[in-house]
Amino acid sequence: MGTTFVHKTSYFFIILFAFVLMELCNCSGSNNLGVCKEREKQALLCFKKEFEDPMNRLSSWVDGVDCCTKWEGVMCDNVTGHVVELRLTNPNFQFEFVHLPKGTLSPCLLELKQLHHLDLSGLYKYFSGSRIPNFIGSFANLQYLDLSNLGFQGIIPPQLGNLTSLHSLILQLNFDDTNHASLIKTDSLDWLSNLSNLQLLDLSYVNLSMTHNWLEAINMLPSLRELHLSRCDLPKLSQSLRLLNNSLLEVLDLSNNEFNIVIPKWMFNLNNLVSLDLTSSGFLSPLPDGPWNLTSIITLNISDNEMNGSLPSQLFGLSGLVSMNLRVT
């Protein structure tokens, strides 16, 4: 009985010690309460101050209230308390036809040194007339960047190529509502070459008309899975150039461009491709002959191109196809 008592006592103290140790961790290091770092909270308040907010999107950002747990769109690391995500997207996005001030994106955000997710896409037109700031390239830990629908204009800063941890880059829909003209542009995509981790690239509505090496630049992205280049005024495709044979690409959207050539055969040999959209891109008959390697394709849209004639037999071999649109103009 004495031995049993000793064992029970030992177990009790082991459990008690573990409980005390957990409490000490909670108090000292784990920051499960989400208490915001003071310098980072002040940086966010600086951003709010410099960011005119007529729609009151940042109404929850109040000094004296913990930014990690009470501020909308702000997420912190449970262990360190650093702000790691800033999500000001609006899932119920609607065009807001109101007068919005011409704003700039404040460099105060650079204090958020652990930031890995920056999504401002819900702030429709809040930065109309301003340029994408060069300092965006200084967020060393950034993995996700969405600056769509913000009204930015001018040249895309090549400093974005410094974001070597980036896996998603979305700059789409920065355009003029009156004529749908692109507001941002670039004449080179060479800065993409450093983004070896990039999996999603969406430059829809970016003016790429002078970017004659766009396909070569895309080929420098070994991890790319989604590519969206709709309404980019892309230069004419060369039949001799192609995406890499070992491409991991699953989504390819080249819709609403004006290529005025026959669809290159390499597009039908991307065996990981799930979705291919070539709508209204000026492609000509005929569709590529010979075997196709679209073994994973689910959605195929080549409607509103200048094609005619009978359907190629290869279409009937796409066993996984769920949605297909071949409407001709």
- List, as one string, the DSSP characters of 286-298: PPP-S----TT--
Q: Is the CB of residue 325 less than 8 Å from the CB of residue 298? A: no
pLDDT in tens, 273-306: 999 999 999 999 888 887 888 999 999 999 999 8
Residue 321 to residues 77, 139, 271, 297, 325: CA-CA distances in angstroms? 42, 41, 13, 6, 11
The alpha carbon torsion through 79, 84, 89, 90 (nearest 10 deg) reads: 10
For 190, the token pair is 């060479």
For 53, the token pair is 């907010």
Residue 118 sits at φ, ψ, to 5 deg, of -130, 110
Q: Is the CB of residue 34 less than 8 Å from the CB of residue 69? A: yes
* 180 band by pLDDT with thresholds 50, 70 and 90: low
B/e letters for 85-109, b = 16+ CB within 10 Å, e = fewer, are: bbbbebeeeeeeeeebeebebbbbb
Could you state, in order of their start, the residue ranges of all structural domains in the chain? Answer: 31-273
Q: What mean pLDDT is predicted for residues 105-133?
A: 90
143: pLDDT strictly greater than 70: yes
pLDDT in tens, 202-248: 999 999 999 998 999 999 999 999 999 999 999 988 776 777 656 79
Tally of CA atoms within 13 A in the half-sphere of 152 that contains its CB: 29
Q: What mean pLDDT is predicted for residues 59-73?
A: 93
Q: What's the distance, CA 137 to chain centroid? A: 15
For 287, the token pair is 């569709």
d(CA 180, CA 158): 24
Residue 312 sits at φ, ψ, to 5 deg, of -70, 150
105: pLDDT strictly greater than 90: no
Class of domain 31-273: alpha beta
Q: What is the pLDDT of residue 32?
A: 39
**Burial grade of 297 (CB within 10 A; 0-12, 13-18, 19 or more):** buried
Q: What is the pLDDT of residue 14?
A: 47
77: CB partners within 8 A, 6+ apart: 31, 84, 114
d(CA 67, CA 35): 8
Q: Lowest mean pLDDT of 85-99, 170-184, 201-215, 298-312, name the range.
A: 85-99
Q: What mean pLDDT is predicted for residues 110-132?
A: 89
